[in-house]
Chains A and B, each alone.
Chain A
Amino acid sequence: DTGVSQDPRHKITKRGQNVTFRCDPISEHNRLYWYRQTLGQGPEFLTYFQNEAQLEKSRLLSDRFSAERPKGSFSTLEIQRTEQGDSAMYLCASSFRLAEHYEQFFGPGTRLTVL
């Protein structure tokens, strides 16, 4: 297992377009998280899944954002009608609920640029 992977690594889109990102967590991890990181800032929590259930959504996640994790495996994050303010790095992380140290393992991120 090579860790958390994300696809694509970079996405450039025009304002108003829809984009979808994919995250593949470490295979035995049942928790999956999405964060957003703007330039020079720390990541901010967006949403969280335990298995296939989406258990929490941040107020940062407007109605234009939707996330899924079918069958508790990979996850997708879709942004509809993108705005320039959506430009950021979108990070995915996963963890194993019963792990002693609760470490979250991060993927390389998807950098979104909205023109």
Chain B
Amino acid sequence: AQTVTQSQPEMSVQEAETVTLSCTYDTSESDYYLFWYKQPPSRQMILVIRQEAYKQQNATENRFSVNFQKAAKSFSLKISDSQLGDAAMYFCAYWNDDYKLSFGAGTTVTVRA
């Protein structure tokens, strides 16, 4: 079974600053996808960014970027120029060619004005 570990229960960042969220995972597969999902308080989960394991280039979506280290099984999320609307719980998730997402425990991001 795949396991996803997020070791930072909470992170705080000043508005306009940068914050990096950590994620490690365990798998014996070579082909898989990794995702970061955002869950704002009392709102539904939305996809922030995805990374295909076969792609060496790190994914970027506007202010969000990842550092994917396949050999180390590490997948961190960097939020640049943090905004108040970025405050949420962030989940790292793993998917391969089966059916389910395996999620980490999440990291709560607080943005200070």
Contacts and interface: CB of A to CB of B under 8 A. Distances in A.
A93 B45 CA distance: 10
Interface residues of B, number: 22
Contact of B33 (A31, A101, A105, A107): A101
A31 B101 CA distance: 13
A74 interface: no
A58 B102 CA distance: 12
Interface of A: 3-4, 31, 33, 35, 40-45, 48, 55-56, 58, 91, 93, 101-109
A4 B102 CA distance: 20
A55 B99 contact: yes
Interface of B: 4, 6, 33, 35, 37, 43-47, 50, 91, 93, 95, 99-106
B7 to A, nearest CB: 13
Given A42-B91, A101-B50, A107 B101 contact: no
A109 to B, nearest CB: 7
7 contacts: A4-B44, A35-B101, A45-B101, A101-B33, A102-B33, A103-B47, A109-B44
A40 to B, nearest CB: 7
A41 B106 contact: yes
A4 B47 CA distance: 14
A40 B44 contact: no
A48 B100 CA distance: 8
Nearest to B108: A40
Given A41-B106, A103-B35, 19 more contacts: A3-B44, A33-B100, A33-B101, A41-B105, A42-B4, A42-B103, A42-B105, A43-B103, A44-B103, A45-B102, A56-B99, A56-B100, A93-B101, A101-B33, A102-B95, A104-B101, A106-B44, A108-B44, A109-B44
